[in-house]
Amino acid sequence: MFIERSMKENNIDPIIARSGHEYRRFYKDDLEIRCYYGEKNILTFESPIVMLPKDEVGKVLNFMLSGKFVPFRFWLKENIIYFQYHFSISDLRVGDSGKTRTRERIKLYLQNLGLMKEILTQEYACELTQFSPSLHEENTQEN
Protein backbone atom coordinates (compact mmCIF):
# COMPACT_ATOMS: atom_id res chain seq x y z
CA MET A 1 0.00 0.00 0.00
CA PHE A 2 2.85 2.40 0.75
CA ILE A 3 4.21 2.27 -2.81
CA GLU A 4 0.76 2.70 -4.34
CA ARG A 5 0.10 5.73 -2.15
CA SER A 6 3.50 7.23 -2.99
CA MET A 7 2.86 6.72 -6.70
CA LYS A 8 -0.57 8.37 -6.48
CA GLU A 9 0.99 11.36 -4.67
CA ASN A 10 3.26 11.76 -7.69
CA ASN A 11 0.41 11.51 -10.24
CA ILE A 12 1.25 7.95 -11.29
CA ASP A 13 -1.51 5.39 -11.57
CA PRO A 14 -0.23 2.34 -9.65
CA ILE A 15 -2.70 0.01 -11.35
CA ILE A 16 -1.57 0.92 -14.86
CA ALA A 17 2.07 0.77 -13.73
CA ARG A 18 1.75 -2.78 -12.38
CA SER A 19 3.63 -5.27 -14.49
CA GLY A 20 3.53 -8.46 -12.47
CA HIS A 21 3.18 -9.22 -8.79
CA GLU A 22 6.18 -7.27 -7.44
CA TYR A 23 7.17 -5.16 -10.45
CA ARG A 24 5.95 -1.82 -11.79
CA ARG A 25 6.95 0.07 -14.91
CA PHE A 26 5.80 3.54 -15.90
CA TYR A 27 6.95 6.72 -17.64
CA LYS A 28 7.56 10.16 -16.20
CA ASP A 29 9.33 13.07 -17.89
CA ASP A 30 9.89 10.89 -20.95
CA LEU A 31 11.83 8.31 -18.94
CA GLU A 32 11.01 4.70 -18.16
CA ILE A 33 10.95 4.03 -14.43
CA ARG A 34 11.02 0.58 -12.91
CA CYS A 35 10.02 -0.24 -9.36
CA TYR A 36 10.62 -3.69 -7.91
CA TYR A 37 11.48 -5.66 -4.78
CA GLY A 38 14.98 -7.09 -4.74
CA GLU A 39 16.95 -9.25 -2.39
CA LYS A 40 16.80 -8.76 1.36
CA ASN A 41 13.57 -6.72 1.31
CA ILE A 42 15.04 -3.89 -0.75
CA LEU A 43 12.67 -1.80 -2.85
CA THR A 44 14.27 -0.19 -5.89
CA PHE A 45 13.27 2.64 -8.20
CA GLU A 46 15.49 2.87 -11.26
CA SER A 47 15.52 4.47 -14.67
CA PRO A 48 17.76 3.87 -17.69
CA ILE A 49 18.29 7.55 -18.47
CA VAL A 50 21.00 7.83 -21.15
CA MET A 51 23.75 6.00 -23.02
CA LEU A 52 27.36 6.39 -21.96
CA PRO A 53 28.95 8.88 -24.39
CA LYS A 54 31.56 7.79 -26.92
CA ASP A 55 33.96 10.61 -25.96
CA GLU A 56 35.12 12.00 -22.63
CA VAL A 57 33.80 9.07 -20.62
CA GLY A 58 36.00 10.03 -17.68
CA LYS A 59 34.12 13.30 -17.16
CA VAL A 60 30.80 11.46 -17.03
CA LEU A 61 32.15 8.87 -14.62
CA ASN A 62 33.49 11.62 -12.35
CA PHE A 63 30.04 13.24 -12.38
CA MET A 64 28.38 9.92 -11.58
CA LEU A 65 30.81 9.14 -8.76
CA SER A 66 30.79 12.64 -7.25
CA GLY A 67 28.40 11.59 -4.47
CA LYS A 68 26.37 14.79 -4.89
CA PHE A 69 23.14 12.87 -5.28
CA VAL A 70 23.05 10.70 -2.15
CA PRO A 71 20.77 8.82 -1.35
CA PHE A 72 20.43 8.29 -5.10
CA ARG A 73 23.09 6.66 -7.21
CA PHE A 74 24.14 6.01 -10.77
CA TRP A 75 25.20 2.68 -12.19
CA LEU A 76 26.13 1.26 -15.59
CA LYS A 77 24.97 -1.78 -17.48
CA GLU A 78 25.80 -2.41 -21.13
CA ASN A 79 26.73 1.29 -21.70
CA ILE A 80 23.43 2.50 -20.26
CA ILE A 81 23.53 4.92 -17.33
CA TYR A 82 20.86 4.18 -14.73
CA PHE A 83 19.71 6.51 -11.96
CA GLN A 84 18.52 4.59 -8.92
CA TYR A 85 17.02 4.92 -5.46
CA HIS A 86 16.67 1.91 -3.21
CA PHE A 87 15.71 1.49 0.41
CA SER A 88 15.01 -1.24 2.89
CA ILE A 89 11.42 -2.09 3.69
CA SER A 90 12.49 -1.89 7.34
CA ASP A 91 12.79 1.90 6.86
CA LEU A 92 9.00 1.95 6.68
CA ARG A 93 8.69 0.22 10.04
CA VAL A 94 10.41 3.10 11.86
CA GLY A 95 7.06 4.82 12.14
CA ASP A 96 5.65 7.89 10.50
CA SER A 97 9.06 9.58 10.32
CA GLY A 98 10.53 6.71 8.26
CA LYS A 99 7.54 6.63 5.95
CA THR A 100 7.54 10.41 5.52
CA ARG A 101 11.29 10.51 4.78
CA THR A 102 10.99 7.68 2.25
CA ARG A 103 7.94 9.25 0.59
CA GLU A 104 9.82 12.55 0.26
CA ARG A 105 12.84 10.79 -1.22
CA ILE A 106 10.70 8.98 -3.79
CA LYS A 107 9.21 12.34 -4.78
CA LEU A 108 12.68 13.90 -4.99
CA TYR A 109 13.95 10.96 -7.05
CA LEU A 110 11.11 11.36 -9.54
CA GLN A 111 11.71 15.12 -9.73
CA ASN A 112 15.45 14.68 -10.33
CA LEU A 113 15.13 12.22 -13.21
CA GLY A 114 14.46 14.92 -15.79
CA LEU A 115 17.30 17.03 -14.40
CA MET A 116 19.76 14.12 -14.61
CA LYS A 117 18.72 13.44 -18.21
CA GLU A 118 19.12 17.12 -19.07
CA ILE A 119 22.57 17.41 -17.47
CA LEU A 120 23.87 14.22 -19.06
CA THR A 121 22.54 14.99 -22.55
CA GLN A 122 23.43 18.69 -22.65
CA GLU A 123 26.66 18.88 -20.66
CA TYR A 124 28.14 15.45 -21.41
CA ALA A 125 26.71 14.68 -24.89
CA CYS A 126 25.01 11.46 -23.78
CA GLU A 127 22.31 10.08 -26.06
CA LEU A 128 18.87 8.82 -25.11
CA THR A 129 18.38 5.10 -24.53
CA GLN A 130 16.15 2.79 -26.52
CA PHE A 131 13.77 2.98 -23.55
CA SER A 132 12.93 6.64 -24.22
CA PRO A 133 9.59 7.24 -25.96
CA SER A 134 10.94 10.41 -27.61
CA LEU A 135 13.70 8.39 -29.30
CA HIS A 136 11.04 6.09 -30.78
CA GLU A 137 9.09 9.13 -32.00
CA GLU A 138 12.21 10.56 -33.69
CA ASN A 139 12.92 7.22 -35.42
CA THR A 140 9.29 6.97 -36.58
CA GLN A 141 9.35 10.49 -38.02
CA GLU A 142 12.59 9.77 -39.92
CA ASN A 143 11.06 6.71 -41.67
Q: Residue 28: which CATH number?
A: 3.30.1460.10
Q: pLDDT tens digits, residue range 76-102?
A: 999 999 999 999 888 877 777 888 888
Above 60 in pLDDT, residue 73? yes
Q: Whole domain around residue 58: which residue ranges?
A: 2-142
For helices 96-122 and 57-64, give the axis angle rounded to 10 degrees: 170
SS (H, E, C) 54-107: CCCHHHHHHHHCCCCCCCCEEEEECCEEEEEEEEEHHHHHHCHHHHHHHHHHHH
Q: Choose between 113 and 132: higher pLDDT.
A: 113
Q: Is 53 exposed, middle or buried, given 0-12, 13-18 or 19+ CB atoms closer than 10 A?
A: middle
